[in-house]
Structure 1
Amino acid sequence: MTHPLLHAHLIAKRFGEKRVLDGVSIHIRPGEIVSLIGPSGCGKSTLLRIVAGLDDAYDGTVKLGGKAVANPSERVGIMFQEPRLLPWLSVEQNVTFIAGGKRDKDGYAIRLLNEVGLAGRERAWPKELSGGMAQRAALARALYTRPDLLLLDEPFSAVDALTRMRLQTLLLSMTAAHGTAALVVTHDLDEALFLSDRIYLMAAEPGRIVDSFDIDLKRPRDRAVPELARWRHRLLAELDAHSTTLPTPTAHQTA
């Protein structure tokens, strides 16, 4: 068995008197895509911040490649729900800004922008991009430091359904091409099932892992195959059993 790239073990976290995470353990192997699903308020984004090295006020251990995670690292790339591009920088400058604004001497930023479908847009301003284009730029930025792990906090929830599906496919191709693992926080079951090698189900009050599911389906995956429909039915039943607040269905979940 391949040793884990990421191992977060028995994570406990409090905000004041409230325990928001209790004994959470997850692992991710090199190149894997893993999703966290669960009701709002169960601590998914909090766990992501801990893994990113942005929050060290917790009990437990987080190791990346066998080394403790104590601070943000170039080995971990992050994508948020909003692109968070700096409006006074060009698209290319936004991509390289994550490395301290150093000049892109080897043209890596341009190559990434070409890979994500933004060829010729390197000198554009963020205001000139559509929502989908902005997230493509954000993905290129997250990959610029050549990270081992990408953390994605509902990165495609603000775009329309068709753009979202295209971005999901792009994420799969980019992580495969760059050998990057990913941890995705999502409320969209279809997204989790399309992307993931494994899905962790969380429950709230306190936030905890109540089950995990290995999605052993070959890629590329057809969104319409009966196996995914059966998995969706199972996950909905598990969510219903462990929470009173279900994820809001997206347009392609209810179609």
Structure 2
Amino acid sequence: MVGSIRFEGVKKTFHTVTGETVNALSGVDLEIEKGKFVCLIGPSGCGKSTMLRILAGLDKPTEGSVYIDDEKVKKPDCDRGLVFQDPNLFPWLNIYDNVAFGLKVRKLYKERSADISEYMELVGLKGFEKSYPHQLSGGMCQRASLARALIGHPKALLLDEPLGALDAFTRMNMQDELLRIKAEKDMTMIMVTHDVDEAVYLADKIVVMTPRPAKIEKVIDVDLHQPRDRNNPEFIRLRSEILKILDFAGKEPEVEYNI
């Protein structure tokens, strides 16, 4: 399991049903080292989720390429696990069968069935194997979604605002769970978020993006030891810096004239 990632000149253009052209990404270049936790942050609709979908192989770039471990991404693959904001569990299956679904589709269930209990325990779902999604909280369902993504032993875990619908307490708890899982499995994680505090708390690197058509405004290395204290002066300073960058991202600098 390695998981280094590279975006090279990635552009993405969509065409709406009315014939309008939407430029989502405008020449994104980005390198992510293996084992890093990276947060993508920027205005709504700026192309953060589009970047994840291209990396996942669900969308193709209009121009440019994306690589994982120097292999060009052309289609979805189990080496990239994807978790959405909505858990998207099958309501007619219990939690065990939801987690096992990918293994059964790939005809790997017999040889890797022991992984299911391991990953359910890893995400804190031991004892809930026979429960159905409607019987669990949003946080518990999101844990199941995590286990389902991890069961394929991905090189990179792609997280598209997976905690956005959770209450504040559950969200902070799940942030700690993500850090614990990353430490145990030593995998690359890329997360889309609108929460600056969340980005500073989790990330080794924060990628700040401009409004659409998105490009990278700034990449910030977060040099804070884990576990992080949200009241630490450096934490607060970094949060303020990112908020300021977001406020001015993509704006043309004002020209001052001295007459």
Q: TM-score, normalised by structure 2?
A: 0.90
Task: Within 5 Å, give how 1:84-163 maps onto structure 2.
Answer: 84-101=88-105, 102=107, 103=109, 105-163=112-170
Distance apart, 1:57 and its partner CA: 4.3
**Is 1:219 matched with 2:226?**
yes
Secondary structure of the 1:63 match is strand
Task: Within 5 Å, give how 1:2-151 maps onto structure 2.
Answer: 5-16=4-15, 17-101=21-105, 102=107, 103=109, 105-151=112-158
Secondary structure of the 1:99 match is helix
- Which 10-residue stretch deviates more, 231-240 or 101-110? 101-110
State how far apart, in whole Å, the 1-side matches of 2:212 and 2:7 are.
Answer: 20
Spell out structure 1 runs of 4+ moving beyond 4 A: none
- Which 10-residue stretch deviates more, 140-149 or 21-30? 21-30
Determine if contact 1:39/1:243 at 8 Å carries over to the other structure: no
- Which 10-residue stretch deviates more, 221-230 or 144-153? 221-230
Partner of 1:178 in structure 2?
185
Determine if contact 2:99/2:145 at 8 Å carries over to the other structure: yes
For each residue in 1:176-196, what CA deviation from the matched residue of structure 2 results, as whole angstroms up to 9, or x when unmatched? Answer: 111111110000001100110
Secondary structure of the 2:43 match is coil
For each residue in 1:39-60, what CA deviation from the matched residue of structure 2 results, as whole angstroms up to 9, or x when unmatched? Answer: 0111111111001000124210
Distance apart, 1:230 and its partner CA: 0.4
Alignment gaps of 5+ in structure 1: 245-255
Amino acid at match of 2:100: T
Distance apart, 1:138 and its partner CA: 0.8
Distance apart, 1:4 and its partner CA: 7.2
**Is 1:194 matched with 2:193?**
no
Name the % identity: 43
Partner of 1:252 in structure 2?
none
Determine if contact 1:33/1:181 at 8 Å carries over to the other structure: yes
Alignment gaps of 5+ in structure 2: 16-20, 252-259
State how far apart, in whole Å, the 2-side matches of 1:208 and 1:57 are.
Answer: 14
State how far apart, in whole Å, the 1-side matches of 2:129 and 2:6 are.
Answer: 36
Secondary structure of the 1:98 match is helix
Determine if contact 2:39/2:205 at 8 Å carries over to the other structure: yes
Distance apart, 1:106 and its partner CA: 4.0
For each residue in 1:82-123, what CA deviation from the matched residue of structure 2 results, as whole angstroms up to 9, or x when unmatched? Answer: 111101111011112123444364411111111111111111
State how far apart, in whole Å, the 2-side matches of 1:119 and 1:4 are.
Answer: 28
Amino acid at match of 1:242: A
Q: TM-score, normalised by structure 1?
A: 0.91
When Rg is computed on C-alpha atoms for both structures, the one with the higher figure is 2
Determine if contact 1:148/1:179 at 8 Å carries over to the other structure: no
Determine if contact 2:47/2:212 at 8 Å carries over to the other structure: no
The number of aligned residues is: 242
Secondary structure of the 2:141 match is helix
Secondary structure of the 1:54 match is coil
State how far apart, in whole Å, the 2-side matches of 1:94 and 1:243 are.
Answer: 42
State how far apart, in whole Å, the 1-side matches of 2:184 and 2:37 are.
Answer: 13
Q: Report the RMSD for the aligned CA atoms in angstroms.
A: 1.6
Partner of 1:234 in structure 2?
241
Amino acid at match of 2:5: L
State how far apart, in whole Å, the 2-side matches of 1:149 and 1:142 are.
Answer: 10
State how far apart, in whole Å, the 2-side matches of 1:157 and 1:74 are.
Answer: 24
State how far apart, in whole Å, the 1-side matches of 2:173 and 2:10 are.
Answer: 34
